[in-house]
Amino acid sequence: MTDRGQVSMPSALRKELALEPGYKLLWQKVSDRECRIVVMKNGKPKGAKAMLGFARRFRPRHVRTTDQWMTELREGEK
């Protein structure tokens, strides 16, 4: 393990599992000294997760800060 917490997987194991860059790996603690690594399914998410980020395409390019929103809202209180 490196100083940054990165680990390497042996190439023979990567080839056997047909892993490629970008695959997601889930680390599960099995015991105090053992972990299991699960290869997550790649592909498009289904259900509600498929909608994550969808509204971003409709957001205007200029996004106001919270302070700007609060100033505008408080102007109506005067």
pLDDT at 41 over 80: no
Band of residue 44 on the pLDDT scale cut at 50, 70, 90? low
Q: Is residue 4 part of a domain?
A: no
Residue 56 DSSP SS3: helix
Range of the domain at 44: 11-75
Instruction: Determine the pLDDT at residue 72.
Output: 87
Residue 20 domain flag: yes
Q: What percent of the chain lies above the pLDDT cut of 70?
A: 90
Does residue 1 lie within any of the structural domains?
no
Residue 59 lies in a domain: yes
pLDDT of residue 52: 77
CB within 8 A of 7, min separation 6: which ones? 1
Residue 54 included in any domain: yes
Domain membership of residue 3 (yes or no) is no
pLDDT at 43: 61
The answer as to whether 50 is a domain residue is yes
Number of structural domains in the chain: 1
pLDDT at residue 39 is higher than 70 = yes
